[in-house]
Amino acid sequence: MKHTNSKKLLSDQITEQELQVILRELARTYDVSGDVVEFGCYVGTTSVYLARELQGSGKQLYLYDSFEGLPEKRPEDSSPAGEQFKAGELHATKKKLIRNLKQANVPMPNITKGWFSDVEPRQVPQQISFAFLDGDYYDSVIDPLRLIWDRLSPGAIVVVDDYANEALPGAAKAVDDWLKTHHAHLSVEASLAILRT
Ligand SMILES: C[S@@+](CC[C@H](N)C(=O)[O-])C[C@H]1O[C@@H](n2cnc3c(N)ncnc32)[C@H](O)[C@@H]1O
């Protein structure tokens, strides 16, 4: 694993500790067949590290974002601790993301602009080895889970941000609801849920 430096993180959307966990779990899937997806890439804070780690691996990185910020909340997302999260918050342009990826000098990922609920199966890789879900809200976690689940290779890992974040309770509710009907081993580290299939 290459060294990360929190001073160089592009935003405060991820901590150095979380990033280390994400990259550690990614490394565990190098021998798993398939590509890597990130739903909720914002300005690319995590994406630049994913892209750097995947360089030369033969795996393609796919990024998805509305580039319009967060959608409206549903009741599951409401929390007194999370009132700052509103529709349109965390808005980044695709142009800004591309600029950050170019500045990081990493291979350009495949980028899809759109709401996760509108992403079509043909826009998602056929086989997935690792997924990072960072959409913050209930629908923004469960919609990607619906898109990717049947495409996860044996041994694939899914990391969901904000599982242990009282400001964004929808993320944990989505994971817990999903696991009522789908099998995976769940562990929690920092604010991250790690699902091993
Ligand atoms: C917390 S930020 C992602 C941070 C990013 N992983 C990083 O490391 O910089 C959440 C992102 O998810 C996007 N997003 C949330 N819900 C979405 C949805 N339902 N469809 C599309 N994009 C969504 C927002 O536009 C925002 O850019």
Which pLDDT tens digit goes with each residue over 125-161? 999 999 999 999 999 999 999 999 999 999 999 999 9
What are the residues whose beta carbons fall under 8 Å from the beta carbon of 19, sequence distance 6 or more?
4, 9, 46, 49
Give the closest residue (by CA) to ligand 1 atom 24. Answer: 69
The Å distance, Cα 108 to ligand 1 centre, comes to 19
Give me the helices (H) in 59-167, please: 94-103, 138-148
- Residue 123 Cα distances to 96, 110, 117, 172, 182, angstroms: 22, 10, 12, 26, 23
For ligand 1, residues with CB inside 6 Å are 11, 13-14, 40-43, 45-46, 65-66, 69-71, 90, 92, 115-116, 134-137, 139-140
Substitution candidate for ligand 1 out of 9, 45, 64, 70 with most atoms within 8 A of CB = 70
Query: Using alpha carbons only, how large is the chain's radius of gyration in Å?
Result: 15
Residue 6 in this model has a pLDDT that exceeds 60: no
The phi-psi region of residue 176 (left if phi > 0; otherwise alpha if psi is between -120 and 50; otherwise beta) is alpha
Sketch the domain layout of the chain as residue ranges.
13-196
The Å distance, Cα 142 to ligand 1 centre, comes to 13
What's the pLDDT score for residue 64? Answer: 98
Which pLDDT tens digit goes with each residue over 9-59? 887 878 999 999 999 999 999 999 999 999 999 999 999 999 999 999 999
Which pLDDT tens digit goes with each residue over 72-124? 999 999 999 998 899 988 899 999 999 999 999 999 999 999 999 999 999 99
pTM score: 0.95
Q: Do 174 and 108 meet the contact criterion of CB atoms below 8 Å apart?
A: no
Residue 8 in this model has a pLDDT that exceeds 90: no
Homologous superfamily (CATH) for 13-196:
Vaccinia Virus protein VP39 (3.40.50.150)
Spatial distance between the Cα atoms of 178 and 160, rounded to a whole number of angstroms: 12
In which element (H, E) is residue 66 found?
A: none
Residue 1 in this model has a pLDDT that exceeds 60: no
Exposed/middle/buried for residue 49 (C-beta within 10 Å: 0-12, 13-18, 19+): buried
Residue 2 in this model has a pLDDT that exceeds 70: no
The Å distance, Cα 67 to ligand 1 centre, comes to 8
What's the pLDDT score for residue 4? Answer: 52
DSSP codes joined into one string, 133-158? E---SHHHHHHHHHHHGGGEEEEEEE
What's the pLDDT score for residue 11? Answer: 78
